[in-house]
């Protein structure tokens, strides 16, 4: 009996083993098929790379022919009408259209801002409660010349300036304000040339001086970051009257990759006459600690900038009996930005300028500020699964000149430091659209902290910004 049971068990085991053989055979066949498919995918990738290279060569030949036959405008129009599959046109959401390999790139964005306040201190006889709007647009057209040059044309129309006309402050609340009456002015047009493997770059044309002085990773773009002027650039810098004729040279040596130096020269009064008589000169040194100490730049990237500037426009010395403009202005400052992790980042600014000269009134952004400081913190929305969102806040103060406080021009000057606080949340709706609710507080506006000096009420500003990238 036991023998029969044992025999049956052995037979059952043999049958089970034999029945599993097709399964094993099937898995082996699948492995072979997977390997064959991977080989085919690799061959397809190689073919795609060859096709892309051929498309690029065809595009280069077409560019050469078009450039010989027509103007730049005709070249661009022909490329726009070209078949995209020929590798001439590349569109990246939020980054614009790149027409390659000829090097044309067209990018545009628009910013819409609504700001309101119950505390307008320059409302006149009208209601102190205001809610106003503005818009601006940026249109960039670039032409790259292989790896040795770049030309840029920047158009910047806009309309209205929200609350800025209704506030009497040292530093106003809408740095994006650009009221051109909806006309389309040329904000920048310049050419940049590279030397010694891009270790040296030279730029000349109509330029924005703020692009070459006092930059900051977290507080330098009013279309996506802080709106308040105090957090965009130092109010203790007396900038030229507008974007103006100038030149800049930047040096970023390969043997010390953690240092960069630039020097700039601009026509301070934007007159294009006697361009060397009234200069705005600046120089800036940048130190990048992550590169210097070998840290991971994706977590610890940062820039530490120190700078000096000189404004050669004619100024009145506040302490002189003679009020004829014979003085110039100068100052220095620092701007720091530092990643703390891949989520957090911090920034700080400090600046100083001469205290004994009156700021030239034709500069609409100028204020009688001797020195200032600001600092802030930002974080991405990684912790709530919104990695493209940004939450940020900043605080700062502007200190009026001691000489300005005592200057007798028939008006009463505030003696206190004007304080600013701003917070915003940049909510990325799509790749092309972002919405940013924004709040600002201003205390001791224009240095007023006593009732006899004027309206000393704290100003509260609420707003919403919409940013569209084409």
**pLDDT at site 76:** 41
Name the token pair of 93: 């959401």
Name the token pair of 320: 């002189």
Predicted model pTM: 0.78
**pLDDT at site 79:** 36
Contact 398, 367 (CB under 8 A): yes
Q: What is the pLDDT of residues 105-139, one digit of tens each?
A: 889 999 999 999 998 988 777 788 999 999 999 99
**pLDDT at site 114:** 97
The residues of the chain scoring below 70 in pLDDT are 1-27, 52, 55-56, 58-103, 319-324, 359-367, 404-412
Return all residues near 12 (Cβ < 8 A) that are at least 6 apart. Answer: none
Place of tokens 């700021």: 359
- In this structure, what DSSP letter does residue 414 have? P
Angstrom distances, CA of residue 200 to CA of 148, 280, 347, 395: 11, 22, 27, 36
Name the token pair of 257: 């990759």
Return all residues near 56 (Cβ < 8 A) that are at least 6 apart. Answer: 87, 100, 101
Q: What is the pLDDT of residues 366-419, one digit of tens each?
A: 567 899 999 999 999 999 999 999 999 999 999 988 776 655 555 667 778 999
Q: Is the peptide bond before 101 cis (omega within 30 degrees of 0)?
A: yes
Contact 181, 159 (CB under 8 A): yes
Using alpha carbons, select from 395, 388, 391, 394 the residue that is nearest to residue 379.
391
**pLDDT at site 23:** 45
């Amino acid at each position: 009996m036991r023998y029969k049971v044992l025999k049956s068990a052995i037979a059952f085991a043999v049958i089970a083993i034999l029945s599993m053989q097709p399964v094993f055979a099937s898995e082996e066949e699948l492995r072979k098929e997977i390997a064959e498919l991977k080989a085919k995918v690799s061959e397809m990738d190689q073919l795609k790379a060859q096709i892309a290279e051929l498309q690029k060569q065809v595009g280069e030949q077409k560019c050469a022919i078009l450039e010989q036959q027509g103007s730049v405008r005709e070249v661009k129009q022909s490329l726009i009408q070209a078949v995209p599959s020929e590798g001439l046109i590349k569109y990246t959401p939020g980054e614009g259209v790149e027409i390659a390999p000829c090097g044309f790139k067209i990018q545009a964005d628009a910013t819409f801002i609504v700001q309101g306040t119950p505390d307008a201190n320059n409302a006149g006889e009208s209601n102190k409660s205001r809610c106003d709007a503005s818009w601006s647009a940026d249109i960039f057209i670039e032409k790259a010349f292989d790896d040795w040059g770049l030309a840029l044309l920047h158009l910047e129309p806009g309309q209205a300036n929200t609350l800025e006309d209704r506030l009497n402050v040292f530093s106003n609340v809408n740095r994006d304000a650009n009221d051109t009456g909806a006309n389309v002015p040329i904000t920048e047009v310049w050419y940049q040339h590279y030397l010694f493997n891009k270790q040296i770059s030279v730029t000349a044309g109509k330029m924005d001086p703020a692009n070459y002085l006092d930059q900051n990773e977290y507080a330098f773009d009013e279309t996506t970051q802080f709106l308040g002027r105090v957090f965009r650039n130092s109010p203790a810098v007396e900038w030229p009257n507008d974007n103006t004729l100038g030149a800049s040279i930047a040096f970023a040596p390969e043997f010390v990759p953690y240092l960069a130096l630039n020097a700039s020269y601009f026509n301070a009064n934007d007159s294009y006459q006697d361009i060397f008589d009234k200069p705005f000169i600046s120089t800036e040194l940048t130190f990048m600690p992550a590169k210097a100490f070998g840290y991971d730049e994706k977590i610890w990237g940062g820039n530490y900038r120190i700078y000096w500037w000189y404004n050669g426009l004619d100024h009145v010395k506040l302490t002189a009996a003679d009020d004829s403009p014979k003085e110039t202005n100068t100052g220095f400052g620092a701007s720091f930005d530092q990643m703390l992790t891949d989520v957090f980042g911090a920034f700080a600014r400090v600046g100083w300028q001469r205290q004994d000269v009156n700021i030239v009134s034709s500069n609409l952004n100028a204020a009688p500020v001797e020195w200032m400081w600001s600092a802030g913190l930002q974080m991405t929305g990684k912790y709530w699964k919104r990695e493209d969102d940004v939450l940020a806040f900043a605080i700062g103060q502007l200190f009026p000149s001691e000489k300005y406080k005592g200057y007798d021009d028939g008006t009463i000057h505030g003696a206190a430091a004007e304080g600013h606080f701003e917070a915003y949340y940049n909510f990325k709706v799509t790749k092309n659209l972002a919405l940013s609710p924004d709040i600002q507080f201003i205390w001791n506006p224009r240095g007023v902290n006593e009732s006899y000096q004027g309206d000393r009420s704290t100003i509260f500003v609420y707003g919403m910004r919409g940013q569209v990238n084409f």
